[in-house]
């Protein structure tokens, strides 16, 4: 192995060393989980085992590829500090070369995986390369990153307004590729600066951006949006006047986790997606509309996995606010015995989880309808929403016991629940002639009821739920 390959290998390991110790395990688990979910849906829609296996493998590879990119690019940018850029110029050159190589491999892999699908390989090639370049530009702290990322949406939405066959011809594809390479070169220079005041300012902006996305920084005070803050304060005043223990416990995990803010967030998602889909329906080409109607449910279904990560956020919040939790136990409206208190907490968390699941399911169905999905696809999507219903029981745990936040239990539990529901759907289809998706949805509802009943049964013998994280 020559010096350049040794440098590339070392920098690759250093860039990925900033990740969590269990990142590879979680990444592989998520890839398998996503492949199983997409494979099950493709099998339900097409009933072709070969297509199902092909789609599952592509989704798994795309998940791994995207996961490693998300971890490598920020790590590579952080390695190029202003000090090392000046004192070790060879390191900066090697980082630029390695990032270019990773960018080329990821773009080529995504393009190859798009063949023999409903996606247009030329669009996948240009879209993947441009997105990675815009992602790196955003991590560099450059002010133009947001504008560039928004500008990449316009060729997709308004592609019918472009000259016919623009990307089908060799000349059009060559011009678009040159523009993509120019964006990549600009992003590469912004990602790996060569010291100076601008480099220090970019590092400071990047540190603030990373801090907001961390588990510790996501709960820090920030500038509140006037509409959301006013609406939340109105609900808080009403609940304080009512002195209802359940409503007061709903505010325990902070404003950002209250149903008011969750509804506002989903409303923004629906509004932005509605504008994009409306523009696509009006201005996009026929091929793009057909692709959105055929594959839009995949992207909409990703919202159903939000409870997996919200469970981690909720547990982090509970663990870091032990003092506030103790004050809640002293409130006159709260039950004094542990079983009654735990049942009250479980009831509040369950209502919040059910409300969030209902909002997420409604959002997914609305987005699927906007993408032009057929009635059969909408029915299948509604049944798929029911497959994630057992996740509402993830919050019904012994909060006094210090356990893993996300880990494998939640992933494996969700995968086992979906697998059991699909197996039950197959059995009901053969025995009663019930549609497979409807049978799987009914089985998921039964599993959800069993999980919730078990959670409430455990709360009878558990110690006080708060302060969370205390050893049982």
Structure letter (DSSP) for residue 305: G
CA–CA dist 52, 55 (Å, integer): 5
**Same domain? 195 vs 284:** no
Q: Is residue 19 part of a domain?
A: yes
Determine the Cα–Cα distance for residues 115 and 91; give it in Å rounded to an integer. 37
Q: Find out whether 447 and 65 touch, Cβ atoms under 8 Å.
A: no
Instruction: Look at residues 28, 38, 27, 26 and name the one whose alpha carbon lies nearest to residue 418.
Output: 38
Structural tokens at position 337: 């015995």
Domain-terminating residue out of 213, 236, 255: 213
**What pLDDT is attached to residue 317?**
64
Instruction: Give pLDDT, residue 115.
Output: 81
Same domain, 162 and 56: yes
Residue 247 lies in a domain: no
Domain co-membership, 12 together with 138: yes
12/80 same-domain check: yes
Separation of alpha carbons 366 and 330, rounded Å: 43
* Radius of gyration in angstroms for the set of CA atoms belonging to the chain, rounded to a whole number: 25
| Closest C-alpha among 302, 365, 404 to residue 33 | 302
If asked whether residues 184 and 302 sit together in one domain, one would say no
pLDDT value of residue 42: 75
Q: How many domains does the chain have?
A: 2
Looking at the structure, do residues 339 and 470 belong to the same domain, yes or no? Answer: yes
What global pTM score does this model have? 0.58
* Residue where a domain terminates, one of 213, 231, 248: 213
Q: For position 363, what pLDDT does the model report?
A: 80
Domain identity same for 201 and 326: no
Asked whether residue 204 is assigned to any structural domain, the reply reads yes
Domain with 192 in it = 1-213
Asked whether residue 73 is assigned to any structural domain, the reply reads: yes
Pair (296, 426) in one structural domain: yes
Answer for the pair 376, 46: CB distance below 8 angstroms, yes or no. Answer: no
Residues 202, 280, single domain; the answer is no
pLDDT (tens place) for every residue of the chain, 472 residues total: 577 788 888 888 888 776 666 667 777 777 887 787 777 777 766 677 787 888 888 888 888 888 888 888 888 888 888 888 787 778 888 888 889 988 998 888 888 888 877 777 887 888 888 888 888 888 777 777 777 777 776 665 555 555 555 555 677 678 888 888 888 888 888 888 887 777 887 777 777 666 655 545 544 545 556 777 777 888 888 877 877 777 777 776 667 677 777 778 777 777 777 777 777 666 666 666 666 666 656 666 667 777 766 666 666 666 666 666 666 666 666 776 778 888 888 888 888 788 888 888 888 888 777 777 777 778 888 888 888 888 888 778 776 665 554 456 777 777 788 888 888 888 888 888 888 888 888 999 999 899 888 888 887 777 776 655 554 3
Question: 390-414 as b/e, with b when 16 or more CB fall inside 10 Å?
Answer: bbbbbbbbbbbeeeeebeeebbebb
Same domain as 94, residue 208: yes
On whether residue 237 sits in a domain, the answer given is: no
Give a yes or no: residue 43 inside a domain.
Answer: yes
Domain end call among 192, 213, 234: 213
Is residue 304 in some structural domain? yes
Q: Is residue 376 a part of any domain in this protein?
A: yes
Same domain, 357 and 467: yes
Q: Based on the domain organization, do 273 and 196 belong to the same domain? A: no
């Amino acid at each position: 192995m020559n010096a350049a390959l040794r440098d590339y290998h070392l920098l690759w390991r250093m860039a990925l060393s900033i990740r969590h110790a269990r990142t590879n395990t979680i990444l592989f688990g998520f890839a398998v989980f996503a492949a199983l979910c997409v494979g099950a849906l493709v099998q339900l829609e097409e009933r072709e085992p070969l297509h199902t296996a092909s789609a599952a493998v592509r989704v798994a590879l795309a998940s791994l590829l995207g996961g490693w990119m998300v971890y490598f690019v920020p790590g590579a940018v952080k390695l190029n500090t202003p000090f090392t850029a000046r004192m070790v110029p060879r390191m900066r050159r090697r980082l630029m070369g390695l990032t270019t190589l990773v960018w080329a491999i990821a773009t080529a892999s995504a393009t190859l995986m798009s063949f023999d699908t409903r996606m247009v390989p030329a669009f996948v090639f240009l879209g993947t390369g441009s997105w990675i370049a815009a992602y790196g530009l955003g991590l560099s702290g450059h002010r133009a990153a947001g504008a560039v990322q928004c500008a990449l949406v316009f060729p997709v939405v308004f592609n019918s307004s472009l000259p016919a066959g623009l990307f089908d011809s060799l000349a059009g594809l060559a011009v678009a590729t040159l523009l993509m390479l120019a964006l990549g070169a600009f992003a590469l220079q912004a990602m790996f600066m060569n010291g100076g005041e601008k480099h220090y300012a970019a590092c400071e902006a990047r540190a603030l951006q990373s801090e907001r996305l961390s588990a510790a920084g996501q709960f820090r005070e920030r500038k509140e949006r006037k509409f959301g803050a006013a609406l939340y304060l109105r609900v808080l005043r009403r609940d304080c006047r009512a002195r209802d223990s359940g409503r007061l416990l709903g505010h325990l995990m902070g404003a950002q986790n209250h149903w008011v803010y969750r509804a506002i967030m989903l409303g923004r998602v629906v509004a932005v997606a509605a504008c994009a889909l409306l523009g696509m329906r009006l201005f996009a080409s026929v091929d793009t509309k057909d692709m959105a109607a055929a594959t839009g449910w995949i992207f909409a279904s990703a919202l159903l996995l939000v409870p997996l990560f919200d469970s981690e956020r909720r547990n982090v919040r509970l663990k870091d606010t032990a003092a506030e939790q103790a004050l809640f136990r002293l409130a006159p409206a709260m039950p004094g015995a542990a079983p009654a208190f735990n049942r009250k907490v479980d009831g509040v968390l369950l209502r919040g989880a059910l409300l969030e699941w209902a909002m997420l399911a409604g959002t997914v169905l609305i987005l699927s309808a906007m993408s032009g999905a057929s009635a059969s696809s909408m029915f299948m999507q509604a049944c798929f929403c029911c497959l994630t219903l057992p996740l509402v029981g993830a919050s019904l745990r012994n909060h006094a016991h210090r356990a893993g936040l996300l880990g494998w239990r939640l992933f494996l539990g969700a995968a086992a629940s979906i697998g059991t529901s699909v197996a039950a759907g197959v059995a009901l289809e053969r025995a009663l002639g019930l549609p497979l998706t409807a049978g799987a949805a009914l089985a998921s509802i039964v599993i959800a009821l069993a999980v919730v009943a078990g959670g409430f049964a455990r709360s009878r013998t558990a110690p006080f739920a708060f302060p969370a994280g205390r050893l049982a």
